Amino acid sequence: MANISRRDMLKMSIVGASSLALSSVNANASENEKDIKFDEEWDVVIIGSGFAGLAAGVTAAKRGNKVLVLEKMGRVGGNSVINGGGFAVPNNPLQKKEGVKDSDELFINDCLKAGLNINHLELLQTIAERAKDTFNLTLECGTEYYDKLSHLGGHSVPRTINTKNGSGSGIVHPMVAAFEKIPNTEIRKRTKFDDFILETNKVVGVKVKENYKFDQKLIDDDNENTSGEIKFIKAKKGVILASGGFCNDLFFRQLQDPRLGVNTDTTNHPGATAGGLISALKIGAAPVHLSWIQFGPWACPDEPGFGVGTKFNSGASFRFGISVNPKTGKRYMNELADRKIRSDAMFKVIGDDKNYPINLCDSQVLQHTDPERINKPLKTGILKQFNTLEELAEFYNIPKADFLETVKKYNEFVKNQKDLDFGKPLSLATTKGVNISKPPFYAMRGTPKLHHTMGGVKINTKAQVLDINDNPIPGFYAAGEVTGGTHGASRLGSCAILDCLTFGMIAGENI
C-alpha cells in the first residue's frame, strides 16, 4: 500500500480504502530555508482568499504589515463567495428589533448539542465572545445586510443575519476592495501554495507555483503539480493557512469517510481540496475531527452543486413550511433540527429508489423573508408554483388525503405553537404565525449534499497552529474550514461565516 496513488485509491473497493493510513499520501518532507533562495519577501503570507484569508488579510494589513494573499484559482473567494450569506451573530441588533432574546450561553449550547459535545469549547467560546467585533469588521469593510432575521435549523432562536444580496459575495467583494485599498497588499490569483519553508521547526516562508492552472481531473489523476513556475516567498512574521475544506477532494474525503463515493454531489467549489491541510499535517500540525464530514440538508437534486434551491429551503420551506415523504404524504422530521439529524432523516426517505422528499410552503413567506428566495429558484424551474394543495399533491404523486391531513395537522401545531409530532420550534418569533393556507403554494424536491468538513488542524484561541504536544508551531497560524474543533461533529447553519471571519481576524491580530 506504500505508494498508492489518488487514482488507485479511487478505483479501490470501499472496504479496502478504509485501511489506508495518512502516511501513504505523498509524504515528502518540507523544504529547509538553508537550501533555497527566496524570490520575494513579505511580512505575512496568507494561503486562500475566502472569508478566513480575507479577514486575516484586512486585519494584518491595517496593522501596517505587508500582506500577500495567495489564491490557486482564477477567481477569489473559494466557497465563501458562493456561500448563502447567512451569518449567525448571537445578541445582534436585529434580534433586539424583532424582540428575540438570546445569549452567548444559548448559542454555545445549541452548537454543543449539534456538535455532539465533542466541540473544542474554548474555540466555540471565542467565536461567541468576538461575534460583535467580527460583525463590525464586515460593516467597516462595507457589507450591507438584509433587514430581517432568519431562523436556521438547530438554533433555538432566530439569530442569523443575511447579506443584502443573499450570498457570501456580499462580504467577500467589499472585503477584497477594503484589503486592496490598504498599501502594500496583494491578492495573487492562479498561485498555488505547495509547501512550507522551515527554519528548524519555524515556518518562515512558502513554496508556490505561479500561473498555476487548476484542473480537477489532474488532481484525481495524481498530477496536481504539473503546471506553473516555482517561486519561494519569505514571510517575515509568519504564514496563515486559510485554504478551506476538502469536500471536493474525492481521494482525501473517502480516505476519512469511506462511505463517500466519487459521485456524491457537493455544494463546494472545485478547488475545495486537501493539499494545504496535508502540507500542515506533514510539518506536525495536530489533526482534529477529520472524518466528520457534513451534509447540508437543504439542497435540490434537480440542479448541480450549491445552486439556488438552498435559498428556498433554508430561508423559506424549512422555517415557514414542511417537508413530506411523497410516498406517504406525511412529515418525517423536525424541519428545524440540526443538519445531521435532518440529513439522516432525509436519506432514510430517499432510500435506494431516489424517493426525494418534497419541501413546501405558501405565499405568506414573501412578507417575512427575502422574495429572492422564491424568485430565483422559480426562475431556474427547480421550484414549482401551485394554485391548490391538491394540484401540488398530484404533480409530485403524493397520496392526496394523507397530505391534506398532514397540512391540517401542521396548521394546528402552528396555531398552538407546539409541534406534537417532531418538536419543531414553532414560537411566534420563528413562525410569525405563518401556516400553509394561502395560495400560491411553492414546492421543490430536496436532498442533502456534502457541504462542510468539520475537521482540520488544531488551533488555539490565538489562531496559532498547535502540534501534537499542544505547542504552537512558530510562525504558523490557521483559520476557517481548514481548522477543526469549533463545531464538533456537526456545524449549525450560518456559523461558518462567524467561525472563518473571527479566527481570520484573530490570526491577523496576533501574527
| Residue span binding ligand ADP (CB under 6 A) among the ranges 101-109, 378-386, 420-428, 475-483 | 475-483
Answer yes or no whether residue 508 interacts with ligand ADP by CB under 6 A.
Answer: no
CA dist 125 to 118, 303, 344, 478, Å? Answer: 14, 37, 28, 17
Closest CB to ligand ADP among residues 255, 350 = 255
> Could you say whether residue 49 binds ligand ADP (CB under 6 A)?
yes
Query: Of residues 17, 46, 53, 162, which one binds ligand ADP by CB under 6 A?
Result: 53
Site for ligand ADP in 322-351 (CB under 6 A): none
Question: Judged by CB under 6 A, does residue 465 bind ligand ADP?
Answer: no
Q: With binding defined as CB under 6 A, does residue 309 bind ligand ADP?
A: no
Q: Is 484 in the site for ligand ADP (CB under 6 A)?
A: no
Q: Which residues of 306-324 are buried (b: 16+ CB within 10 A; e: fewer)?
A: bbbbbbbbbbbbbbbbbbb
Is 73 among the residues that bind ligand ADP (CB under 6 A)?
A: yes
Question: Of the listed 339, 342, 445, 491, which one is catalytic?
Answer: 339
Cα separation of 200 and 19, whole Å? 33
Question: How far is residue 35 CA from its own chain's centroid?
Answer: 38
CA-wise closest residue to 437 among 314, 311, 322, 312: 322
The residue (of 248 and 359) whose beta carbon lies closer to ligand ADP is 248
339 catalytic per annotation:
yes
Q: Which residue is nearest to ligand ADP (CB)?
A: 50
CB neighbourhood size of 397 (10 A):
10
Q: Quick check: 504 and 478 in contact, CB under 8 A?
A: no
Return the residue of 115, 154, 480, 485 that touches ligand ADP, per CB under 6 A.
480
SS (HEC) of 406-471: HHHHHHHHHHHCCCCCCCCCCCHHHHCCCCCCCCCEEEEECEEEEEEECCEECECCCCEEEECCCC
Please give the full DSSP string across 50-79, using - where no structure is assigned: SHHHHHHHHHHHHTT--EEEE-SSSSS-TT
Stretch that binds ligand ADP, among 50-58, 364-372, 418-426, 458-466 (CB under 6 A): 50-58
| Interface characters, 237-276, with ligand ADP (x: CB under 6 A) | -----xxx--------------------------xx--xx
Q: Is residue 310 a contact partner of residue 359, using CB atoms and an 8 Å limit?
A: no
- We find the least distance from the C-beta atom of residue 78 to ligand ADP, in angstroms, to be 3
Interface residues toward ligand ADP, by CB under 6 A: 47-53, 70-73, 77-80, 192-193, 242-244, 271-272, 275-276, 480-482, 500
Q: Which positions are catalytic?
A: 339
